[in-house]
Chain A
Protein backbone atom coordinates (compact mmCIF):
# COMPACT_ATOMS: atom_id res chain seq x y z
CA UNK A 1 0.00 0.00 0.00
CA UNK A 2 1.28 3.44 -0.92
CA UNK A 3 2.04 5.43 2.20
CA UNK A 4 0.68 8.90 1.66
CA UNK A 5 1.18 10.19 5.19
CA UNK A 6 3.11 13.43 5.47
CA UNK A 7 6.56 13.32 7.01
CA UNK A 8 5.95 16.19 9.40
CA UNK A 9 3.26 16.75 12.00
CA UNK A 10 0.57 19.30 11.07
CA UNK A 11 1.16 22.77 12.54
CA UNK A 12 -1.94 22.33 14.68
CA UNK A 13 -2.65 20.99 18.19
CA UNK A 14 -2.14 17.40 19.27
CA UNK A 15 -2.54 15.73 22.64
CA UNK A 16 -0.77 12.99 24.56
CA UNK A 17 -2.95 9.92 24.03
CA UNK A 18 -4.45 8.24 27.10
CA UNK A 19 -6.29 4.90 26.64
CA UNK A 20 -9.37 6.15 28.55
CA UNK A 21 -9.91 8.77 25.81
CA UNK A 22 -9.86 6.29 22.92
CA UNK A 23 -13.60 6.14 22.28
CA UNK A 24 -14.04 9.91 22.64
CA UNK A 25 -11.20 10.65 20.21
CA UNK A 26 -12.48 8.19 17.62
CA UNK A 27 -16.00 9.66 17.93
CA UNK A 28 -14.94 13.33 17.71
CA UNK A 29 -11.37 14.56 17.99
CA UNK A 30 -12.50 18.21 18.02
CA UNK A 31 -9.50 20.51 17.49
CA UNK A 32 -6.99 17.66 17.92
CA UNK A 33 -5.16 16.95 14.66
CA UNK A 34 -2.55 14.44 15.82
CA UNK A 35 -1.59 12.26 18.79
CA UNK A 36 1.56 11.54 20.74
CA UNK A 37 2.23 8.23 22.49
CA UNK A 38 5.00 7.25 24.87
CA UNK A 39 7.11 4.63 23.10
CA UNK A 40 7.63 2.54 26.22
CA UNK A 41 3.89 1.85 26.62
CA UNK A 42 3.74 0.15 23.21
CA UNK A 43 6.52 -2.38 23.45
CA UNK A 44 4.41 -5.42 24.29
CA UNK A 45 3.65 -8.21 21.81
CA UNK A 46 -0.05 -7.43 21.36
CA UNK A 47 -3.27 -6.79 23.23
CA UNK A 48 -5.33 -3.63 23.53
CA UNK A 49 -2.44 -1.13 23.57
CA UNK A 50 -1.20 -2.12 20.12
CA UNK A 51 -4.74 -2.55 18.76
CA UNK A 52 -5.65 0.99 19.85
CA UNK A 53 -2.42 2.39 18.44
CA UNK A 54 -3.02 0.69 15.07
CA UNK A 55 -6.54 2.11 14.95
CA UNK A 56 -5.38 5.62 15.87
CA UNK A 57 -2.59 5.52 13.29
CA UNK A 58 -5.14 4.87 10.53
CA UNK A 59 -6.80 8.22 11.30
CA UNK A 60 -4.18 10.49 12.84
CA UNK A 61 -0.53 11.39 12.38
CA UNK A 62 1.30 9.82 15.33
CA UNK A 63 4.28 11.17 17.20
CA UNK A 64 6.24 8.55 19.13
CA UNK A 65 7.82 10.13 22.20
CA UNK A 66 10.48 8.07 23.98
CA UNK A 67 10.84 8.58 27.72
CA UNK A 68 13.41 5.92 28.59
CA UNK A 69 16.40 5.76 26.24
CA UNK A 70 18.73 7.74 28.52
CA UNK A 71 20.39 9.63 25.68
CA UNK A 72 22.51 11.54 28.21
CA UNK A 73 23.71 8.43 30.00
CA UNK A 74 27.44 8.02 30.70
CA UNK A 75 27.23 4.38 29.65
CA UNK A 76 26.33 2.97 26.22
CA UNK A 77 22.70 3.04 25.07
CA UNK A 78 20.70 -0.06 26.05
CA UNK A 79 20.92 -2.26 22.94
CA UNK A 80 17.70 -4.12 23.79
CA UNK A 81 15.83 -0.86 24.16
CA UNK A 82 17.23 0.49 20.90
CA UNK A 83 16.02 -2.68 19.19
CA UNK A 84 12.55 -2.23 20.68
CA UNK A 85 12.43 1.39 19.44
CA UNK A 86 13.54 0.27 15.99
CA UNK A 87 10.81 -2.35 15.94
CA UNK A 88 8.10 0.11 17.03
CA UNK A 89 9.15 2.82 14.57
CA UNK A 90 9.47 0.14 11.89
CA UNK A 91 5.95 -1.29 12.07
CA UNK A 92 4.14 1.92 13.03
CA UNK A 93 5.99 4.30 10.72
CA UNK A 94 5.06 7.30 12.87
CA UNK A 95 5.18 10.84 11.54
CA UNK A 96 7.66 11.92 14.19
CA UNK A 97 10.01 10.48 16.82
CA UNK A 98 11.32 12.45 19.79
CA UNK A 99 13.34 11.87 22.96
CA UNK A 100 14.80 13.89 25.83
CA UNK A 101 18.01 15.68 26.68
CA UNK A 102 18.37 13.74 29.94
CA UNK A 103 19.57 10.48 31.41
CA UNK A 104 17.53 7.85 33.24
CA UNK A 105 19.60 4.66 33.28
CA UNK A 106 22.83 3.94 35.14
CA UNK A 107 24.40 0.50 34.68
CA UNK A 108 21.28 -1.66 34.59
CA UNK A 109 19.20 0.59 36.86
CA UNK A 110 16.37 2.44 35.14
CA UNK A 111 15.37 5.33 37.41
CA UNK A 112 12.20 6.46 35.60
CA UNK A 113 12.98 10.16 35.78
CA UNK A 114 14.50 12.63 33.32
CA UNK A 115 17.73 13.44 35.13
CA UNK A 116 19.84 16.53 34.45
CA UNK A 117 23.14 16.91 32.61
CA UNK A 118 26.05 19.32 32.91
CA UNK A 119 26.44 21.40 29.75
CA UNK A 120 30.06 20.76 28.79
CA UNK A 121 32.05 19.65 25.76
CA UNK A 122 32.25 16.12 27.21
CA UNK A 123 28.46 15.92 27.49
CA UNK A 124 28.08 17.32 23.96
CA UNK A 125 30.34 14.64 22.54
CA UNK A 126 28.51 11.84 24.34
CA UNK A 127 24.97 13.04 23.60
CA UNK A 128 25.81 13.65 19.93
CA UNK A 129 27.23 10.12 19.61
CA UNK A 130 24.09 8.62 21.17
CA UNK A 131 21.81 10.63 18.89
CA UNK A 132 23.85 9.56 15.85
CA UNK A 133 23.46 5.95 16.97
CA UNK A 134 19.72 6.32 17.54
CA UNK A 135 19.08 8.08 14.22
CA UNK A 136 21.05 5.40 12.38
CA UNK A 137 19.15 2.66 14.21
CA UNK A 138 15.65 3.95 13.51
CA UNK A 139 16.58 5.33 10.11
CA UNK A 140 15.17 8.79 10.61
CA UNK A 141 15.75 12.22 12.11
CA UNK A 142 14.65 12.64 15.72
CA UNK A 143 13.60 15.66 17.76
CA UNK A 144 15.42 16.33 21.05
CA UNK A 145 13.46 17.95 23.90
CA UNK A 146 14.77 20.59 26.31
CA UNK A 147 14.43 19.45 29.96
CA UNK A 148 12.81 20.78 33.12
CA UNK A 149 15.62 21.26 35.62
CA UNK A 150 15.61 21.80 39.37
CA UNK A 151 19.30 22.36 39.98
CA UNK A 152 22.47 23.35 38.16
CA UNK A 153 25.92 21.78 37.73
CA UNK A 154 28.84 23.88 38.87
CA UNK A 155 30.83 22.35 35.99
CA UNK A 156 28.44 23.58 33.22
CA UNK A 157 30.16 26.08 30.95
CA UNK A 158 27.59 26.85 28.26
CA UNK A 159 23.91 27.88 28.15
CA UNK A 160 21.36 25.15 27.44
CA UNK A 161 20.27 26.91 24.24
CA UNK A 162 23.84 26.85 22.87
CA UNK A 163 24.15 23.22 23.89
CA UNK A 164 20.97 22.26 22.01
CA UNK A 165 21.92 24.30 18.94
CA UNK A 166 25.30 22.57 18.80
CA UNK A 167 23.71 19.12 19.20
CA UNK A 168 21.36 19.90 16.31
CA UNK A 169 24.28 21.14 14.20
CA UNK A 170 26.46 18.08 14.89
CA UNK A 171 23.78 15.38 14.51
CA UNK A 172 21.23 16.92 12.16
CA UNK A 173 18.51 16.20 14.69
CA UNK A 174 15.58 18.57 15.17
CA UNK A 175 14.44 20.04 18.46
CA UNK A 176 11.29 19.79 20.52
CA UNK A 177 10.68 23.03 22.42
CA UNK A 178 8.79 22.32 25.65
CA UNK A 179 7.56 25.72 26.84
CA UNK A 180 6.42 24.43 30.22
CA UNK A 181 9.97 23.11 30.71
CA UNK A 182 11.33 26.52 29.68
CA UNK A 183 9.13 28.23 32.28
CA UNK A 184 9.85 25.65 35.00
CA UNK A 185 13.61 25.75 34.42
CA UNK A 186 13.78 29.54 34.11
CA UNK A 187 11.84 29.98 37.35
CA UNK A 188 13.99 27.39 39.12
CA UNK A 189 17.26 28.76 37.72
CA UNK A 190 16.11 32.40 38.09
CA UNK A 191 16.71 33.21 34.44
CA UNK A 192 14.53 34.91 31.82
CA UNK A 193 12.29 32.52 29.84
CA UNK A 194 11.73 35.03 27.03
CA UNK A 195 15.48 35.43 26.56
CA UNK A 196 15.73 31.62 26.44
CA UNK A 197 13.13 31.45 23.66
CA UNK A 198 14.81 34.30 21.77
CA UNK A 199 18.09 32.38 21.92
CA UNK A 200 16.54 29.07 20.92
CA UNK A 201 17.45 27.78 17.43
CA UNK A 202 13.87 28.11 16.23
CA UNK A 203 14.55 26.86 12.70
CA UNK A 204 15.17 23.38 14.15
CA UNK A 205 11.92 23.23 16.15
CA UNK A 206 9.64 20.49 14.81
CA UNK A 207 7.25 20.43 17.75
CA UNK A 208 6.19 22.45 20.80
CA UNK A 209 5.03 20.97 24.12
CA UNK A 210 2.67 22.69 26.57
CA UNK A 211 1.77 21.24 29.97
CA UNK A 212 1.06 21.93 33.61
CA UNK A 213 3.31 21.99 36.66
CA UNK A 214 3.21 22.11 40.47
CA UNK A 215 4.59 24.87 42.70
CA UNK A 216 6.83 24.36 45.72
CA UNK A 217 9.63 26.29 47.43
CA UNK A 218 13.29 25.44 47.88
CA UNK A 219 15.18 25.49 51.22
CA UNK A 220 15.50 29.28 51.05
CA UNK A 221 11.90 30.11 50.14
CA UNK A 222 12.62 30.57 46.42
CA UNK A 223 9.95 29.24 44.05
CA UNK A 224 10.59 25.68 42.89
CA UNK A 225 8.35 24.48 40.07
CA UNK A 226 7.86 20.77 39.45
CA UNK A 227 7.12 19.47 35.96
CA UNK A 228 4.12 17.28 36.80
CA UNK A 229 1.95 17.26 33.64
CA UNK A 230 -0.97 17.07 36.04
CA UNK A 231 -2.79 20.37 35.53
CA UNK A 232 -3.88 22.97 33.00
CA UNK A 233 -1.29 25.09 31.23
CA UNK A 234 -0.75 28.29 33.27
CA UNK A 235 -1.15 31.78 31.81
CA UNK A 236 2.59 32.66 31.82
CA UNK A 237 3.23 29.55 29.67
CA UNK A 238 0.43 30.55 27.28
CA UNK A 239 2.16 33.94 27.06
CA UNK A 240 5.44 32.23 26.18
CA UNK A 241 3.55 30.25 23.55
CA UNK A 242 2.16 33.45 22.02
CA UNK A 243 5.68 34.91 22.01
CA UNK A 244 7.06 31.77 20.37
CA UNK A 245 4.36 31.79 17.68
CA UNK A 246 5.11 35.43 16.98
CA UNK A 247 8.77 34.53 16.46
CA UNK A 248 8.39 31.19 14.70
CA UNK A 249 4.91 30.97 13.20
CA UNK A 250 2.52 28.04 13.79
CA UNK A 251 4.15 24.76 14.86
CA UNK A 252 2.78 21.33 15.79
CA UNK A 253 1.82 21.86 19.44
CA UNK A 254 1.15 19.17 22.01
CA UNK A 255 -0.87 19.40 25.22
CA UNK A 256 0.72 17.03 27.76
CA UNK A 257 -1.40 15.77 30.66
CA UNK A 258 -0.02 12.58 32.20
CA UNK A 259 -1.17 12.53 35.85
CA UNK A 260 -4.64 13.23 37.24
CA UNK A 261 -5.74 12.93 33.61
CA UNK A 262 -9.01 14.83 33.04
CA UNK A 263 -12.02 13.80 31.00
CA UNK A 264 -11.67 14.27 27.27
CA UNK A 265 -13.57 17.61 26.98
CA UNK A 266 -11.10 19.32 29.35
CA UNK A 267 -8.10 18.11 27.35
CA UNK A 268 -9.78 18.96 24.05
CA UNK A 269 -10.48 22.48 25.39
CA UNK A 270 -6.76 22.97 26.12
CA UNK A 271 -5.99 21.89 22.56
CA UNK A 272 -8.64 24.35 21.38
CA UNK A 273 -6.93 27.16 23.26
CA UNK A 274 -3.64 26.32 21.53
CA UNK A 275 -5.43 26.27 18.17
CA UNK A 276 -6.98 29.69 18.80
CA UNK A 277 -3.60 31.20 19.64
CA UNK A 278 -1.91 29.80 16.56
CA UNK A 279 -4.57 31.17 14.21
CA UNK A 280 -3.59 34.72 13.26
CA UNK A 281 -6.42 37.11 14.21
CA UNK A 282 -5.68 39.37 11.25
CA UNK A 283 -5.81 36.53 8.73
Chain B
Protein backbone atom coordinates (compact mmCIF):
# COMPACT_ATOMS: atom_id res chain seq x y z
CA UNK B 1 0.00 0.00 0.00
CA UNK B 2 1.18 3.49 -0.87
CA UNK B 3 -0.02 6.53 1.02
CA UNK B 4 0.87 10.10 0.18
CA UNK B 5 -0.22 12.44 2.96
CA UNK B 6 -0.62 16.04 1.91
CA UNK B 7 2.78 16.19 0.24
CA UNK B 8 4.40 19.30 -1.07
CA UNK B 9 7.58 19.43 -3.10
CA UNK B 10 9.65 22.41 -4.19
CA UNK B 11 12.62 21.98 -6.54
CA UNK B 12 15.88 23.79 -5.64
CA UNK B 13 15.13 26.41 -8.33
CA UNK B 14 12.02 27.41 -6.39
CA UNK B 15 9.40 25.79 -8.59
CA UNK B 16 6.69 24.17 -6.49
CA UNK B 17 5.86 20.98 -8.38
CA UNK B 18 3.51 19.44 -5.82
CA UNK B 19 1.20 21.55 -3.72
CA UNK B 20 -0.68 19.28 -1.38
CA UNK B 21 -1.21 15.81 -2.85
CA UNK B 22 -2.97 13.10 -0.88
CA UNK B 23 -3.53 9.76 -2.51
CA UNK B 24 -3.79 6.15 -1.44
CA UNK B 25 -2.95 3.24 -3.75
CA UNK B 26 -3.90 -0.19 -2.47
CA UNK B 27 -1.81 -3.29 -3.03
CA UNK B 28 -2.72 -4.89 -6.35
CA UNK B 29 -4.27 -1.74 -7.81
CA UNK B 30 -3.63 -0.47 -11.34
CA UNK B 31 -3.58 3.29 -11.54
CA UNK B 32 -2.82 5.71 -14.36
CA UNK B 33 -1.68 9.23 -13.58
CA UNK B 34 -2.52 11.63 -16.38
CA UNK B 35 -2.42 15.36 -16.96
CA UNK B 36 -0.72 18.27 -18.65
CA UNK B 37 3.04 18.53 -19.15
CA UNK B 38 4.53 20.00 -16.00
CA UNK B 39 1.54 19.04 -13.81
CA UNK B 40 3.80 17.14 -11.40
CA UNK B 41 3.11 13.55 -12.47
CA UNK B 42 6.72 12.42 -12.67
CA UNK B 43 7.58 14.38 -9.53
CA UNK B 44 4.83 12.54 -7.67
CA UNK B 45 5.93 9.04 -8.70
CA UNK B 46 9.56 9.83 -7.92
CA UNK B 47 8.39 10.17 -4.32
CA UNK B 48 7.25 6.56 -4.23
CA UNK B 49 10.70 5.05 -4.61
CA UNK B 50 12.26 7.80 -2.51
CA UNK B 51 14.20 9.47 -5.33
CA UNK B 52 12.57 12.64 -4.06
CA UNK B 53 11.53 13.27 -0.47
CA UNK B 54 8.61 15.60 0.23
CA UNK B 55 9.38 19.12 1.42
CA UNK B 56 6.24 18.85 3.55
CA UNK B 57 4.00 15.89 4.36
CA UNK B 58 5.03 12.25 4.05
CA UNK B 59 4.88 9.20 1.80
CA UNK B 60 4.42 5.76 3.31
CA UNK B 61 5.27 2.63 1.33
CA UNK B 62 3.89 -0.44 3.08
CA UNK B 63 3.72 1.55 6.28
CA UNK B 64 7.27 2.94 6.24
CA UNK B 65 8.03 6.59 5.58
CA UNK B 66 10.27 7.07 2.53
CA UNK B 67 12.29 9.54 4.61
CA UNK B 68 13.49 6.69 6.82
CA UNK B 69 14.80 4.28 4.15
CA UNK B 70 17.40 4.57 1.41
CA UNK B 71 16.49 4.51 -2.28
CA UNK B 72 18.68 1.41 -2.61
CA UNK B 73 16.55 -0.41 -0.07
CA UNK B 74 13.23 0.87 -1.40
CA UNK B 75 14.08 -0.05 -4.98
CA UNK B 76 13.87 -3.75 -4.15
CA UNK B 77 10.15 -3.19 -3.53
CA UNK B 78 9.53 -0.35 -5.96
CA UNK B 79 10.71 -0.74 -9.55
CA UNK B 80 10.86 2.46 -11.58
CA UNK B 81 11.13 2.69 -15.37
CA UNK B 82 12.09 6.19 -16.49
CA UNK B 83 10.41 8.16 -19.24
CA UNK B 84 13.55 8.35 -21.33
CA UNK B 85 15.34 4.98 -21.55
CA UNK B 86 18.64 6.73 -22.27
CA UNK B 87 18.59 7.94 -18.66
CA UNK B 88 18.91 4.44 -17.32
CA UNK B 89 20.74 2.33 -19.91
CA UNK B 90 24.54 2.15 -19.78
CA UNK B 91 25.77 -1.45 -20.17
CA UNK B 92 27.47 -2.90 -23.23
CA UNK B 93 24.91 -5.55 -23.99
CA UNK B 94 21.20 -5.90 -23.44
CA UNK B 95 21.82 -8.99 -21.34
CA UNK B 96 24.27 -7.14 -19.07
CA UNK B 97 21.80 -4.32 -18.69
CA UNK B 98 19.00 -6.59 -17.51
CA UNK B 99 21.32 -8.55 -15.20
CA UNK B 100 22.85 -5.45 -13.58
CA UNK B 101 20.30 -4.80 -10.86
CA UNK B 102 19.96 -8.51 -10.13
CA UNK B 103 23.69 -8.69 -9.40
CA UNK B 104 23.40 -5.69 -7.11
CA UNK B 105 20.59 -7.39 -5.23
CA UNK B 106 22.86 -10.39 -4.80
CA UNK B 107 20.70 -12.87 -6.70
CA UNK B 108 22.35 -16.24 -7.38
CA UNK B 109 24.00 -16.76 -10.77
CA UNK B 110 21.42 -19.36 -11.69
CA UNK B 111 18.48 -17.18 -10.75
CA UNK B 112 19.97 -14.22 -12.64
CA UNK B 113 20.20 -16.32 -15.78
CA UNK B 114 16.64 -17.48 -15.38
CA UNK B 115 15.21 -14.02 -14.69
CA UNK B 116 17.12 -12.40 -17.57
CA UNK B 117 15.90 -15.03 -20.03
CA UNK B 118 12.36 -14.61 -18.75
CA UNK B 119 12.41 -10.79 -19.02
CA UNK B 120 13.99 -10.74 -22.49
CA UNK B 121 11.46 -13.22 -23.74
CA UNK B 122 8.58 -11.30 -22.22
CA UNK B 123 9.56 -8.11 -24.05
CA UNK B 124 10.54 -9.77 -27.36
CA UNK B 125 14.22 -8.88 -26.91
CA UNK B 126 15.82 -12.34 -26.97
CA UNK B 127 17.35 -11.75 -30.40
CA UNK B 128 19.18 -8.66 -29.05
CA UNK B 129 20.77 -10.43 -26.05
CA UNK B 130 24.33 -9.64 -27.15
CA UNK B 131 23.54 -6.31 -28.85
CA UNK B 132 24.48 -2.93 -27.39
CA UNK B 133 21.35 -1.09 -26.20
CA UNK B 134 22.54 1.93 -28.17
CA UNK B 135 22.25 0.04 -31.46
CA UNK B 136 18.54 -0.49 -30.87
CA UNK B 137 15.63 1.68 -31.96
CA UNK B 138 13.93 4.07 -29.51
CA UNK B 139 11.02 1.70 -28.93
CA UNK B 140 13.33 -1.25 -28.37
CA UNK B 141 15.46 0.70 -25.87
CA UNK B 142 12.29 1.50 -23.96
CA UNK B 143 11.58 -2.23 -23.74
CA UNK B 144 15.13 -2.95 -22.48
CA UNK B 145 14.52 -0.43 -19.68
CA UNK B 146 11.25 -2.20 -18.85
CA UNK B 147 12.91 -5.62 -18.89
CA UNK B 148 15.71 -4.47 -16.59
CA UNK B 149 13.21 -3.46 -13.91
CA UNK B 150 10.68 -6.26 -14.30
CA UNK B 151 13.50 -8.80 -14.01
CA UNK B 152 13.79 -8.39 -10.23
CA UNK B 153 10.06 -8.76 -9.79
CA UNK B 154 9.33 -5.75 -7.54
CA UNK B 155 5.99 -5.56 -5.71
CA UNK B 156 5.28 -2.07 -6.94
CA UNK B 157 6.00 -1.23 -10.57
CA UNK B 158 6.09 2.38 -11.73
CA UNK B 159 6.19 3.00 -15.46
CA UNK B 160 6.75 6.56 -16.67
CA UNK B 161 5.29 6.78 -20.19
CA UNK B 162 5.62 3.06 -20.96
CA UNK B 163 3.97 3.23 -24.40
CA UNK B 164 6.29 5.81 -26.00
CA UNK B 165 7.64 4.47 -29.28
CA UNK B 166 5.67 1.24 -28.95
CA UNK B 167 3.59 -0.10 -31.80
CA UNK B 168 0.12 -1.50 -31.36
CA UNK B 169 1.18 -5.10 -30.79
CA UNK B 170 3.73 -4.14 -28.15
CA UNK B 171 1.13 -2.04 -26.38
CA UNK B 172 -1.28 -4.95 -26.38
CA UNK B 173 1.43 -7.17 -24.87
CA UNK B 174 2.16 -4.54 -22.25
CA UNK B 175 -1.54 -4.34 -21.39
CA UNK B 176 -1.80 -8.09 -20.97
CA UNK B 177 1.35 -8.10 -18.87
CA UNK B 178 0.02 -5.39 -16.54
CA UNK B 179 -3.19 -7.39 -16.09
CA UNK B 180 -1.04 -10.41 -15.25
CA UNK B 181 0.98 -8.40 -12.69
CA UNK B 182 -2.28 -7.26 -11.13
CA UNK B 183 -3.58 -10.79 -10.75
CA UNK B 184 -0.32 -11.63 -8.96
CA UNK B 185 -1.20 -8.89 -6.49
CA UNK B 186 1.39 -6.40 -7.73
CA UNK B 187 0.67 -2.71 -7.74
CA UNK B 188 1.15 -0.97 -11.08
CA UNK B 189 1.27 2.80 -11.51
CA UNK B 190 1.74 4.31 -14.92
CA UNK B 191 2.25 7.92 -15.90
CA UNK B 192 0.94 8.42 -19.39
CA UNK B 193 -0.50 10.73 -22.03
CA UNK B 194 -1.73 7.79 -24.05
CA UNK B 195 -5.50 8.08 -23.65
CA UNK B 196 -6.26 5.27 -26.08
CA UNK B 197 -4.01 2.89 -24.10
CA UNK B 198 -5.76 3.88 -20.87
CA UNK B 199 -9.14 3.44 -22.58
CA UNK B 200 -8.21 -0.15 -23.43
CA UNK B 201 -6.99 -0.93 -19.91
CA UNK B 202 -9.70 0.93 -17.97
CA UNK B 203 -7.66 1.39 -14.77
CA UNK B 204 -8.20 3.86 -11.94
CA UNK B 205 -7.23 7.29 -13.25
CA UNK B 206 -5.88 10.26 -11.30
CA UNK B 207 -5.81 13.54 -13.19
CA UNK B 208 -3.22 16.09 -12.13
CA UNK B 209 -3.24 19.82 -12.73
CA UNK B 210 -0.64 22.26 -11.40
CA UNK B 211 0.74 20.10 -8.63
CA UNK B 212 -2.64 18.89 -7.38
CA UNK B 213 -4.92 15.96 -8.00
CA UNK B 214 -7.96 17.26 -9.83
CA UNK B 215 -9.96 14.03 -10.02
CA UNK B 216 -9.58 10.37 -9.18
CA UNK B 217 -11.83 7.49 -10.28
CA UNK B 218 -12.44 4.75 -12.88
CA UNK B 219 -11.17 5.58 -16.39
CA UNK B 220 -14.61 5.32 -18.01
CA UNK B 221 -15.96 7.96 -15.60
CA UNK B 222 -12.99 10.33 -15.65
CA UNK B 223 -12.11 10.24 -19.35
CA UNK B 224 -15.72 10.80 -20.41
CA UNK B 225 -16.08 13.91 -18.26
CA UNK B 226 -15.52 16.69 -20.80
CA UNK B 227 -14.79 19.40 -18.21
CA UNK B 228 -12.20 17.41 -16.28
CA UNK B 229 -10.50 16.18 -19.40
CA UNK B 230 -10.21 19.70 -20.84
CA UNK B 231 -8.76 21.06 -17.58
CA UNK B 232 -6.07 18.35 -17.65
CA UNK B 233 -5.12 19.01 -21.32
CA UNK B 234 -6.28 15.58 -22.40
CA UNK B 235 -8.22 14.66 -25.51
CA UNK B 236 -11.05 12.19 -24.70
CA UNK B 237 -10.71 8.69 -26.23
CA UNK B 238 -12.10 8.52 -29.77
CA UNK B 239 -14.91 6.19 -28.72
CA UNK B 240 -16.01 8.68 -26.07
CA UNK B 241 -15.93 11.47 -28.66
CA UNK B 242 -18.17 9.43 -30.96
CA UNK B 243 -20.69 8.77 -28.19
CA UNK B 244 -20.64 12.42 -27.16
CA UNK B 245 -21.55 13.44 -30.72
CA UNK B 246 -24.44 10.97 -30.50
CA UNK B 247 -25.59 12.07 -27.04
CA UNK B 248 -29.05 12.97 -28.40
CA UNK B 249 -29.50 9.30 -29.33
CA UNK B 250 -29.90 8.33 -25.68
CA UNK B 251 -26.79 6.14 -25.61
CA UNK B 252 -24.71 5.62 -22.45
CA UNK B 253 -21.95 8.22 -22.10
CA UNK B 254 -19.37 6.19 -20.17
CA UNK B 255 -18.13 4.03 -23.06
CA UNK B 256 -14.42 4.23 -23.93
CA UNK B 257 -13.63 0.81 -25.38
CA UNK B 258 -14.24 -0.32 -29.00
CA UNK B 259 -15.83 -3.64 -28.04
CA UNK B 260 -18.15 -2.10 -25.46
CA UNK B 261 -19.14 0.45 -28.08
CA UNK B 262 -19.90 -2.28 -30.60
CA UNK B 263 -22.04 -4.20 -28.11
CA UNK B 264 -24.03 -1.12 -27.11
CA UNK B 265 -24.74 -0.23 -30.74
CA UNK B 266 -25.74 -3.76 -31.70
CA UNK B 267 -28.01 -4.09 -28.67
CA UNK B 268 -29.64 -0.84 -29.62
CA UNK B 269 -30.19 -1.91 -33.23
CA UNK B 270 -31.64 -5.23 -32.13
CA UNK B 271 -34.04 -3.49 -29.73
CA UNK B 272 -35.38 -1.23 -32.47
CA UNK B 273 -36.15 -3.99 -34.94
Question: Are A and B bound to each other?
Answer: no
Report A's interface with B, CB cutoff 8 A: none
Report B's interface with A, CB cutoff 8 A: none
